[in-house]
Amino acid sequence: MKQIRMARPSDLAEFRALWDISFSDTQAFRNWFFSHRFVPGYSCCIEEDGRLVSAVQSVPCHIRVRGKILPAAVMVGACTHPDYKRRGYMKELYTFYMNEMAKMGVVLAAHTPAVLGTYFYVGHFPVSDTAFLEGEGIAAQESAAGPVDMQEEVSALLACYQQSGARYSGILSRSFADMVLKMADYGADGAKALALWKEGQIAAYGVYYDTEEMVYAEEVMALTKEDEQQVVNGLANVAKGKKVKIKLPPDTKATLPGAQKTISPRNVLGLCHVEALLSALSVDLTEAVEIKDDVVAQNDGVFLLSGKRSEQKPAVSLQQGHLLQFLMGYRSLAQLAQEGNATILDEGAAKRMDACLPVVPCHIVDEY
């Protein structure tokens, strides 16, 4: 008999076994992750034939949306045992998960699919772009950035992250405890860090992996674009001519001689609780929107921008995932309509909504 349920602490070994056959992370990272990041209350599974055959994990967090900080989760480790694939289990799990998170008051669920469009069918669409700077054989660059111990200087790193991250919508709002865990996540896989110090504070930093083949920087945060360039130069110097790949915010201005810059969608969000999101944003408009959601029933219907259900004629009609793109600041209603992802029923009202909630820089660093 098949059963869909939330995870229990006693499921850890089976979750780990399913992860082991599904992903290629290092043994060291897996050991760390399942010792410190397995959160049964934020994870769910399908049990069949007396064993766990499909799973979704997540870890609690808070996400900044236009300056508002909301309860959220980062989804990780979505997988199905090879013997049970192509049965629609992942859609069942995602539907179950999103509804359970809504009951818990979680507003948003973020994740980074290996293939971007994998979960479009449940309304999880891109809400941020990511820039990558890639090159090889790059000559030494001028840089004042130097090595920094991620654990010893976690407070200074957090201060830089919080200040630089405040300009982005979609970014995780990390507490001190969050930052300690995040740096330990990186360290479990052998990551190192560079930092630029100014007047006793970290003005920019980059967390990176130095392998035989390449230097890959997973997280770069900076107070100014000039500070960011210093760290990018430092990362190129670490590579010493071998391949370098640096993950950066989409509004980066950083360059390297001979390196190619690409910017593309990478992170997606699922909307668990539309009333909570609209209420938190406190939009000072009287317009209503029609939201279509066949995953979380409580999100389906017509809502005022204050978050209350309404009988009012909506100004726009769209799927919940595309509404989230608008509310996050990733797309305007005009852009969504042009792309065929929104139906504007009141042109004047839609323009007022776009003016009140303009497109803003969106960036999500965290992914597993």
Query: From CA 300, how far away is CA 293, in angstroms rounded?
Result: 5
Cα dihedral 282, 286, 287, 292 sign: positive
Two tokens, residue 237: 């110097």
Per-residue pLDDT at 49: 87
Q: Which of 234, 266, 298 is the last residue of a domain?
A: 266
Helix (H) or strand (E) segment spanning residue 30: helix 27-36
288-292 sheet: strands from edge to edge: 301-304, 288-292, 316-319, 343-344
Tell me: do 180 and 296 sit in the same domain.
Answer: no
Clarify whether residues 206 and 254 are in a common domain.
Answer: yes
The domain that holds 87 is classified in CATH as 3.40.630.30
Number of domains, the chain: 3
Does the pTM surpass 0.85? The reply is: yes
- How does pLDDT run along the chain (368 residues), one tens digit per residue? 899 999 999 999 999 999 999 998 899 999 999 999 999 999 999 999 889 999 999 999 999 999 999 999 999 999 999 998 889 899 999 999 999 999 999 999 999 998 888 889 899 999 999 999 999 999 999 999 999 999 999 999 999 999 999 999 999 999 999 999 999 999 999 999 999 999 999 999 999 999 999 999 999 999 999 999 999 999 999 999 999 999 999 999 999 999 999 999 999 999 999 999 999 998 989 999 999 999 999 999 999 999 999 999 999 999 999 999 999 999 999 999 999 999 999 999 999 999 999 999 999 999 87
Q: Within a domain: residue 119? A: no
Last residue of a domain, one of 236, 266, 296: 266
In a domain, 256, yes or no: yes
Note whether 46 and 154 are same-domain residues: no
Q: Which residues pair with 209 in a beta bridge?
A: 216
**Beta strands per DSSP E along the chain:** 3-6, 44-48, 51-65, 68-80, 108-111, 125-135, 146-147, 192-198, 201-210, 214-222, 243-248, 260-271, 288-292, 301-304, 316-319, 343-344
CATH number of residue 310's parent domain: 3.30.1050.10
Residue that has been written with the tokens 């978050």 in this structure: 307
Using alpha carbons only, give the angle 41, 47, 49 rounded to the nearest 5 degrees. Answer: 160
**pLDDT of res. 43:** 97
Verify that 68 and 10 share a domain, yes or no.
yes
Residue 14 lies in a domain: yes
Domain end among 237, 266, 295? 266
Same domain, 148 and 215: yes
Range of the domain at 247: 131-266
